[in-house]
Structure 1
Amino acid sequence: MDKADNLTVVILTKNEEKNIVDVVRNASRVTDDILIIDSGSTDKTVELAEQENAKVVYRAWDNDFAAQRNFAFEHTDKEWILYLDADERLNDELVEAIKSVANSSALKQYSIVRKIHAFGFEYKHGIFKPDEVLRMFPTNSVKWEHKVHERPICALPKERLAGFIEHYTYDSWQQWWDKAGHYTSIWAQDNYAKGKRTTLAACLVHSIYGFIRAYFIQLGFVDGWSGLYSSFQHSIYTMMKYLKLYELEQRG
């Protein structure tokens, strides 16, 4: 099937030179209209993206992922919009499904199954188990909310596309630690501004439950050692969120 000429693929970037060529070429399988929303890369991300014929626009980073995604609406006039992260790749079946939808007259929002690869392991269970993400919409039907762990708001019926995304996330523990520190700070600041408060006891309870949910409820133990340490990761991540919220409260 021919590429969709009424679809924009949006990719958020900052210092993604190791991923940018592959993700643009992968996205180019469904459309030639690739839009990069860059938040100030200091490596070769922008140069490489432009060499691959992607359109690059800049928006200063203000700790708001939803705002970055919503900014894309100012730079496309296409009927459909698809969001893809720099470390994600569409598989063959999904490529065909996306083109089919974009070339139809459907009025729906579409979710995609995402398989997560982290630390050299493909997860089947636990906190990194395959998930389902809403990513494709008629352009004028969706807005994003929340500064971190952002989500789309769309009133249209939902349908899941065939195929899946391969998500090649954390390469190293340091990469996870850096991102976790950044995301938990944004979460704490955003929730403090919204009036959310916590206690040290609640920090501990949330952290313990985070481990129980990942390791037992979501069957992380089935993935062996990888499931065990990813469950501890989630526990630490959860505690960091609430400790930072508590710290903000104490500072007044």
Structure 2
Amino acid sequence: MKIPISVFMITFNNAATIEKALKSIKDWSDEIVVVDSHSTDGTQEIVKKYTDSLYQFDTKNLRDKYQYAQDMCKNDWVMFIDADEWLTDEIKKEIAGIISSRTDYAGFTIKRRNIYFGKEIKFGGWYPDYEIRLYKKDKGSWKGGIHAKVFVEGKIGKLKNHYLHTPYLDTSQQIKTIDRYSQQYAEDLYNSNKRFHLINMIFRPFYRFFRDYIFKLGFLDGIPGLIIIASTMYYVFMKHAKLWELEKKNGKKGNF
């Protein structure tokens, strides 16, 4: 039985994962909204099998894309998931109970369980990984750039169950994602007049190593945990390297 909730997602060339996400909500949500950016890998064709609410919106600013997707929703309650995430029966049942109860909460955080190379990641700050995902449409607004987040006005609750996430199909995709995200993050810093600092490029990767791999016990996740921390350090290093590159190209100097 479908419930009065709009689930929205933003996409770009997500054909490899999006069908699993859509299947997990197709018989549960009475509206699915997908905002694409003219995907060329078959994403649009897959989406059309599950919803007529497919829109095109081209922008580098993820905040604008998420906000546009939210604005296209018709229900009072909305939820967003990414194209590489899917809902379990337990979390769907819990959400259905909340919506039918006429709660006075404006939104809810939900924990995300990450599956990396077939292994559930339990340490390194990857779990429980709470985020606001369910909220009343008129109470939520999106802010930020590459790491855009929804901000909800009102009381926030916390759900017991989790949803699932497969962040990368393989290490090649992970490296490509790091390259794209580090570039966008560097551009956000540059456009916000944040300057390059050599000390950040040198020490922040090691800070993440000690925080996530040692103090947050990332080493207990075995080889996947080691790959995660190595790629995280690379990402942190590259976003500062790309900020330096932007300044060099545009004739600005950071602090050395």
TM surpasses 0.5:
yes
Q: CA RMSD in A?
A: 1.5
Partner of residue 237, structure 1: 235
Select which of 89, 94, 99 maps to 2:91. Answer: 94
Q: CA separation in 1, counterparts of 2:195 and 2:39?
A: 34
Matched, 1:109 2:107: yes
Partner of residue 21, structure 2: 23
Q: CA separation in 2, counterparts of 1:164 and 1:54?
A: 28
Offset, 1:239: 0.6
Q: CA separation in 1, counterparts of 2:31 and 2:46?
A: 16
AA aligned to 1:137 is Y
Question: Normalised by the size of structure 1, how large is the TM-score?
Answer: 0.93
Q: CA separation in 1, counterparts of 2:101 and 2:136?
A: 11
Partner of residue 140, structure 1: 138
Say whether the 8 Å CA contact 1:123–1:130 is kept in structure 2: no
Partner of residue 185, structure 1: 183
Unaligned runs of 5+ in 1: none
Q: CA separation in 1, counterparts of 2:124 and 2:77?
A: 33
SS of 1:22's partner is helix
Say whether the 8 Å CA contact 1:114–1:132 is kept in structure 2: yes
Partner of residue 64, structure 1: 61
The number of equivalent residue pairs is 249
Q: CA separation in 2, counterparts of 1:59 and 1:9?
A: 17
AA aligned to 2:246 is L
SS of 1:211's partner is helix
Shifted more, 37-46 versus 19-28: the winner is 19-28
Say whether the 8 Å CA contact 2:107–2:136 is kept in structure 1: yes
Unaligned runs of 5+ in 2: none
AA aligned to 1:232 is A
Partner of residue 225, structure 2: 227
Say whether the 8 Å CA contact 1:13–1:39 is kept in structure 2: yes
Partner of residue 72, structure 2: 75
Offset, 1:223: 1.5
Q: CA separation in 1, counterparts of 2:186 and 2:50?
A: 38
Select which of 155, 158, 172 maps to 1:157. Answer: 155
Question: Normalised by the size of structure 2, how large is the TM-score?
Answer: 0.92
Select which of 126, 129, 134 maps to 1:128. Answer: 126
Partner of residue 246, structure 1: 244
Summarize deviations over 1:204-225 as a string: whole Å, max 9, x none: 1111111111111211111122
Say whether the 8 Å CA contact 1:30–1:98 is kept in structure 2: no
